[in-house]
Amino acid sequence: MTATLADTYDARLYARARHEAEPTGALFTAPQRPAPLTPEQQRLNFELLGQAISSPHQAGPAEPNPTKIRALTIQPPWSDLIALTDEEIAKRIENRVWATHWRGTLLIHGGQTIDKQALALPHVRAALPEDYEPVQGHVVAVADLAGIHADDGACTRWSERGCFHWQLTNVQRLPEPVHATGSQRLWKPSRTLLDDITAANPQLTARLEAA
């Protein structure tokens, strides 16, 4: 039988995979956290990650006319922490209980649901401006998904144990966020949405056209 993530995670963590827009952070997680992974579970995670990267069929059947750009819906304030321009405090790891072989230009979309528990956490508040207001239902940044690795400990202050760590690079904040309807997992932005983004943020035109 082929090993799956269900074999690796307990039922509670596996169920979280159905709530794709829920980000996590090692310092900013609700009290109900999964137990740390054993060395054997971490080894299996690396094996599963390798399979996801090397086997395109694991991402599902091929779709006609695939676009190069993808988007990821993330709850504020986590999405806004990614959009920060100060690299010293910005969130450059997104934690997910699933992996993907896809790499490329990624729109960061702030979801409609706010993680209110995160707003009360001192480390989150310290990173956000004093006049912070969550940006909901809008694309707030453009990034590159440069890589994914299985749990290797707290590789950054924003990393979560027991999750895949999505490495975000070349993050550009949208001075003018653009409204969009989000979705679960990686979703494909429409050409109209990309045009709306570049119309409101002309400095992103070359990047989005080349992606």
Query: What is the rounded CA–CA span in Å between residue 65 and residue 71?
Result: 17
Q: Which amino acid is at 112?
A: Q
CATH number of residue 206's parent domain: 2.30.130.30
CA-wise closest residue to 197 among 182, 171, 179, 170: 179
In a domain, 119, yes or no: yes
Work out how many domains the chain is built from and give that number: 1
Query: Does the pLDDT of residue 23 top 80, yes or no?
Result: no
In a domain, 32, yes or no: no
Distances (CA, A) of 111 to 41, 45, 191: 31, 28, 20
pLDDT reported for residue 160 = 85
As a whole number, the mean pLDDT across the chain is 79
User: How many CB atoms sit inside 10 A of residue 124's CB?
Assistant: 22
Tell me which residue range forms the domain holding 200. 5-26+37-57+66-210
In a domain, 31, yes or no: no
Which has the higher per-residue pLDDT, 122 or 32? 122
pLDDT reported for residue 16 = 46
pLDDT reported for residue 106 = 98
In a domain, 162, yes or no: yes
**pLDDT single digits (tens) 111-170:** 999 999 999 989 899 999 999 999 999 999 999 999 999 887 777 888 888 899 999 999
pLDDT reported for residue 64 = 46
pLDDT reported for residue 47 = 56
In a domain, 139, yes or no: yes
Q: 12-21, 72-81, 86-95, 194-203: which range is least confident on average? A: 12-21
pTM (whole model) above 0.75: no
**pLDDT single digits (tens) 155-195:** 788 888 889 999 999 999 999 999 999 999 999 999 999 99
